[in-house]
Amino acid sequence: MNANLKLVKQSIGSFVQDEDGAQVVEYALIIAVVSIALVVALNALTAAGGGFSQFITRVTNCLKTGGTCA
């Protein structure tokens, strides 16, 4: 019986000290923040022109002409 308690104690101790899962959570939070920033940025860029397809058209025309595009 004493050996079983010792095994449980060791298992719980190793579980508490394990930090591998923390990296996954950190990466998930970074991805979430970057995704939110992209959505906000695209929303701001497309609001002036009236849609994402029009935004892409403006960028394409700007790259083709080579001039300054506002």
In a structure prediction context, what are the per-residue pLDDT tens digits for the chain, which is 70 residues long?
577 778 777 877 776 676 666 788 889 999 999 999 998 888 777 766 567 777 788 788 888 887 667 6
Is this structure's pTM higher than 0.75?
no
Furthest CA-CA distance within the chain: 81
Q: Please give the pLDDT value at position 31.
A: 95
Q: Residue 44: its pLDDT value, please?
A: 77
